[in-house]
């Protein structure tokens, strides 16, 4: 049903408005009730991190404009920066064409990665040399 719902959206003209609550009801949360979220820097467009949201964290993010994820390791809501001070404020949110991924453009204060680096994707593959190079110095 979710797939068919998003296929129907493909035929709607640009600038068509749909209630946010309707879209949320059709999102493809997995068996654990989670959906992947990509956090992208709103200015540089760098991909900073990947995490998970459940419906409660998605709604809290929408209501507060502060990125709120679901921590699988702690089994609880996780407001980014609540303890570290490295906050993420939502500037825009979009859903992909299948309703199974969320993209949030954010303003990042401090490091996005728990390692202290600006973003989590700092292990860069060099295909020719079959090596991985660490890029992205820690901010702290």
Q: 3-class DSSP state for residue 138?
A: coil
Superfamily of domain 2-112: Phosphoribosyl-AMP cyclohydrolase (3.10.20.810)
CB proximity list for 2: less than 8 A, separation 6 or greater: 26, 27, 28, 99
Q: How confident is the model at residue 87 (pLDDT cuts 50, 70, 90)?
A: very high
Please provide the distance, in angstroms rounded to a whole number, between the alpha carbons at the two ends of the chain. Answer: 47
Chain mean pLDDT for the chain: 95
The backbone torsions φ and ψ at residue 42, rounded to the nearest 5 degrees and listed phi first, read -65, -25
Domain spans of the chain, in order of start: 2-112
- pLDDT at res. 1: 64
Question: Is the pLDDT reported for residue 137 higher than 90?
Answer: no
Q: How confident is the model at residue 140 (pLDDT cuts 50, 70, 90)?
A: low
For residue 138, the model assigns a pLDDT of 75
């Amino acid at each position: 049903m979710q797939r068919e719902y998003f296929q129907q959206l493909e035929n709607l003209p640009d600038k068509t408005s749909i209630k946010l609550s309707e879209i949320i009801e059709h999102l493809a949360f997995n068996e654990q009730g989670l959906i992947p979220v990509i956090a992208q820097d709103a200015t540089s467009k760098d991909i900073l991190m990947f995490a998970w949201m459940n419906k409660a964290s998605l709604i809290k993010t929408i209501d507060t404009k502060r990125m709120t994820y679901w921590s699988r390791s702690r089994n609880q809501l996780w407001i980014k920066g609540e303890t570290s001070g490295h906050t993420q404020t939502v500037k825009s949110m979009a859903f992909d064409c299948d309703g199974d991924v969320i993209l949030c453009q954010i303003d990042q204060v401090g490091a996005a990665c728990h390692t202290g680096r600006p973003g989590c994707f700092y292990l860069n593959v060099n295909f020719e040399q079959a090596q991985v190079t660490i890029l992205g110095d820690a901010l702290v």
